[in-house]
């Protein structure tokens, strides 16, 4: 008997307008995963095939190394509405990250322009002409680990990874920004899209998904620290 392969995603919500998925680590939104036919399938193509959906539109994106909540529109009208909300920064996004380094500050706001660095990386600059803006809280997870709850106000490439590196606390397992941390000690890059809040069709939508991949994320101490943050959209975020 043939066993169906495990899907690299979990459906959180499925309605006539959009899908909300929890994306696994290691799959790109667009073509990347080898199909049995030899073609490369990304998450978008895979979901369409496995869920028998004719068309899907990615209204935002997650890096390949990032797990968590992703919204895919199912109609052109939903795609327009949701894409415009992302463009106008009306959709609230919240992320979790772990670092084994002590940050320069435990909460606050990280602001700066971003410029291209080496090997596909980005740098945070002191200038603020068109800055990336990230608000954050942090707390102790386990000994030697710091848990971050992050709220990006903008949507720049690698924004959160660069932001945490800039305060001396690169994300655990991040091969691009982790510096001299021993990457072989980690089973993933510890960045997870944790919660989304937006309005669609006059109805407020709230989605939360705890990380399920990564031995550090799933330790009881880390999960307790996540729970202690409470509902992220209700927090008084640093200005």
Burial class, 237, CB count within 10 angstroms (exposed 0-12 / middle 13-18 / buried 19+) = middle
Q: Can you tell me the distance from the alpha carbon of 12 to that of 19, in angstroms, rounded to the nearest whole number? A: 8
**CA within 13 Å, CB half, 163:** 32
Contact 61, 50 (CB under 8 A): no
What single string gives the DSSP state of each residue in 24-36?
A: PTT--SSS-EEPT
Q: Which of 22, 32, 39, 63 is catalytic?
A: 63
Burial class, 3, CB count within 10 angstroms (exposed 0-12 / middle 13-18 / buried 19+) = exposed
Contact 132, 114 (CB under 8 A): yes
Neighbours of 106 (CB within 10 A): 15
Instruction: Let me know the angle formed at the C-alpha of 68 by 136 and 4, rounded to the nearest 5 degrees.
Output: 165
Those residues with Cβ within 8 angstroms of residue 116's Cβ, 6 or more apart along the chain or in another chain: 122, 123
DSSP secondary structure code for residue 163 in this structure:
H
Indicate if 63 belongs to the active site.
yes
Could you list the active site residues?
A: 63
């Amino acid at each position: 008997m043939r066993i169906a392969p495990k899907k690299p995603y979990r459906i959180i919500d499925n309605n006539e307008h959009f899908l909300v998925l929890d994306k696994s680590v290691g799959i790109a939104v667009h073509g990347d995963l080898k199909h049995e036919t030899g073609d490369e399938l990304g998450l978008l193509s895979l979901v369409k095939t496995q869920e028998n959906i004719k068309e899907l539109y990615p209204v935002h994106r997650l890096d390949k190394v990032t797990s968590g909540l992703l919204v895919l529109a199912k109609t052109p009208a939903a795609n327009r509405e949701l894409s415009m909300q992302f463009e106008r920064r009306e959709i609230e996004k919240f992320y979790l990250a772990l670092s084994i380094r002590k940050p320069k500050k435990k909460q606050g706001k990280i602001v700066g322009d971003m410029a291209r660095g080496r090997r596909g990386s980005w740098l945070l600059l002191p200038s603020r002409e068109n800055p990336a803006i990230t608000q954050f809280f942090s707390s102790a997870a386990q000994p030697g680990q710091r848990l971050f709850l992050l709220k990006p106000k903008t949507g720049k490439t690698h924004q959160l990874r660069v932001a945490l590196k800039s305060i001396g606390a690169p994300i655990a397992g991040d091969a691009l920004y982790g510096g001299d941390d021993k990457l072989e000690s980690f089973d993933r890059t510890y960045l997870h899209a944790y919660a989304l809040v937006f309005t669609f069709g006059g109805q407020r939508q709230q989605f939360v998904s705890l990380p399920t991949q990564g031995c550090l994320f799933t330790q009881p101490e880390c999960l307790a620290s996540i729970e202690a943050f409470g509902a992220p959209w209700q927090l008084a975020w640093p200005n």
